[in-house]
């Protein structure tokens, strides 16, 4: 029986850079893909815990725009795992009324995986209890550049009257994350203390939490530690504490 945990102050939106799968596997003399397979179990567990703690938005970095440069064998295996993951999880997403979406350049995803993704997006689009966004073929610079280009096009078409009226909200509405509030907490597993081109615009005032735990080892207890750490943070947003 799991003990009930009380939090004073929970993040509404958690973003996670799920890093360390490859090193987890290499340390055990396993193929890197074994780490990715274990990583999927961690994602399942963390999603379950997020439901338990009623986290409304979860955005997880699964594959970056730069990860295409990895060996073909690893990329192909990851795309295959993704395809399987979505079809296996769909009943769970529906059961828990989870709105599933992806952020990133979906055009680059192979058709067999894309088909499952679009099907899951379609079947869960009516839900608004919990929002799960998978960042796939995602790069923040690409997202920002594309948004600026789309905005310029709308201006040219006369949809935006006045360049001076462009503000955070208007610009945000061009990002992949247009319907999601900015993350309150960003967790990166795997020991690296960098952002690796994730959500650069959206994390302006996000609390950052780095842990050495590799993603395949990250579970409910680790999430609780991150949430307990977040609880103590004082967010000022440039103002002074009142
Ligand atoms: C994160 O784990 C998952 C992806 C980037 C697809 P890595 O594969 O980057 O694992 P490490 O960082 O090499 O250990
Ligand atoms: C970031 O991890 C991307 C994902 C976790 C999906 P990387 O392993 O690609 O990042 P770097 O190369 O260490 O910066
Ligand atoms: Mg990595």
Q: Kindly state the tokens that stand for 41.
A: 């179990």
Alpha helices for the chain (secondary structure H): 21-27, 32-52, 72-95, 111-124, 140-156, 168-172, 220-231
pLDDT digits (tens, 9 = 90+) for 54-74: 999 999 999 999 999 999 999
* Number of residues that make up the chain: 242
User: In this structure, is residue 29 part of a structural domain?
Assistant: yes
User: In this structure, is residue 49 part of a structural domain?
Assistant: yes
- E strand or H helix at 20, and its extent? none
pLDDT of residue 15: 99
Q: Ligand 1 mean position to 10 CA, how many Å? A: 27
Query: Ligand 1 pocket test: which of 23, 42, 80 has the largest number of ligand atoms within 8 Å of its C-beta?
Result: 23
Q: Ligand 1 mean position to 109 CA, how many Å? A: 18
Give the separation between CA 131 and CA 98, rounded to whole angstroms. 6
List the residue whose alpha carbon is closest to atom 3 of ligand 1. Answer: 19
List the residue whose alpha carbon is closest to atom 9 of ligand 2. Answer: 67
pLDDT of residue 167: 94
Mean pLDDT confidence for 146-163 = 94
Mean pLDDT confidence for 168-173 = 96
Q: Given strand 13-17, what is the order of strands in its sheet?
A: 98-103, 130-138, 57-64, 13-17, 185-188, 207-210
User: In this structure, is residue 177 part of a structural domain?
Assistant: no
Domain count, the chain: 1
- Taking alpha carbons only, the member of 167, 211, 223 closest to residue 50 is 223
Mean pLDDT confidence for 108-125 = 97
Q: Ligand 2 mean position to 99 CA, how many Å? A: 25
Catalytic residue, candidates 67, 96, 105, 146 = 67
User: In this structure, is residue 48 part of a structural domain?
Assistant: yes
Q: Kindly state the tokens that stand for 188.
A: 């990166």
- Cα R_g (the chain), whole angstroms: 18
pLDDT of residue 224: 98
pLDDT of 108 over the 90 cut = yes
CATH number at residue 86: 3.40.1180.10
| 128 φ/ψ angles, rounded to the nearest 5 degrees | -140, 20
User: In this structure, is residue 28 part of a structural domain?
Assistant: yes
pLDDT of residue 225: 98
- Taking alpha carbons only, the member of 190, 163, 156 closest to residue 38 is 190
pLDDT of 171 over the 80 cut = yes
Give the separation between CA 231 and CA 35, rounded to whole angstroms. 31
List the residue whose alpha carbon is closest to atom 6 of ligand 1. Answer: 63
Question: Is 67 tagged catalytic?
Answer: yes
Coil, strand, or helix at residue 212?
Answer: coil
Contact 55, 12 (CB under 8 A): yes
Give the separation between CA 67 and CA 131, rounded to whole angstroms. 24
Task: Ligand 2, residue 22: give the atom nearest the CA.
Answer: 8
List the residue whose alpha carbon is closest to atom 12 of ligand 1. Answer: 20
pLDDT of 11 over the 80 cut = yes
Q: Which residue range(s) make up the domain with 223? A: 13-147+183-231
Query: Which ligand is the nearest neighbour of the Cα of 198?
Result: 2
User: In this structure, is residue 18 part of a structural domain?
Assistant: yes
Give the separation between CA 129 and CA 96, rounded to whole angstroms. 8
User: In this structure, is residue 152 part of a structural domain?
Assistant: no
pLDDT of residue 2: 78
**Helix axes of 72-95 and 32-52: crossing angle, nearest 10 degrees:** 20
Mean pLDDT confidence for 2-9 = 88
pLDDT of residue 1: 67
Mean pLDDT confidence for 173-187 = 97
User: In this structure, is residue 136 part of a structural domain?
Assistant: yes
Q: Ligand 3 mean position to 92 CA, how many Å? A: 28
pLDDT of residue 241: 79
Give the separation between CA 16 and CA 204, rounded to whole angstroms. 15
């Amino acid at each position: 029986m799991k003990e009930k945990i009380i939090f004073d102050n929970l993040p509404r939106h958690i973003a996670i850079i799920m890093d360390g799968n490859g090193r987890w596997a290499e340390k055990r003399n396993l193929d890197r893909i074994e780490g990715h397979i274990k990583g999927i179990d961690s994602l399942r567990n963390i999603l379950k815990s997020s439901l338990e703690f009623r986290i409304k938005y979860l955005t997880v970095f699964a594959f970056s725009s730069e990860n295409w440069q990895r060996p073909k064998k690893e990329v192909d295996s990851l795309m295959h795992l993704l395809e399987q993951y979505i079809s296996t999880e769909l009943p769970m997403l529906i059961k828990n009324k989870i709105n599933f979406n992806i952020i990133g350049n979906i055009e680059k995803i192979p058709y067999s995986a894309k088909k499952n993704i679009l099907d899951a997006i379609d079947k869960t689009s009516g839900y608004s209890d919990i929002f799960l966004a998978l960042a796939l073929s995602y790069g923040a610079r690409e997202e920002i550049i594309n948004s600026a280009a789309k905005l310029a096009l709308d201006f040219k078409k006369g949809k935006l009257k006045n360049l001076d009226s462009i503000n955070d909200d208007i610009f945000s509405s061009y990002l992949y994350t247009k319907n999601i509030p900015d993350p309150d907490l960003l967790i990166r597993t795997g020991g690296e203390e960098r952002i690796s081109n994730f959500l650069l615009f959206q994390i302006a005032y996000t609390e950052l939490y780095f842990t050495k735990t590799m993603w395949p080892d990250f579970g409910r207890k680790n999430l609780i530690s991150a949430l307990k750490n977040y609880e103590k943070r004082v967010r000022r947003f440039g103002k002074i504490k009142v």
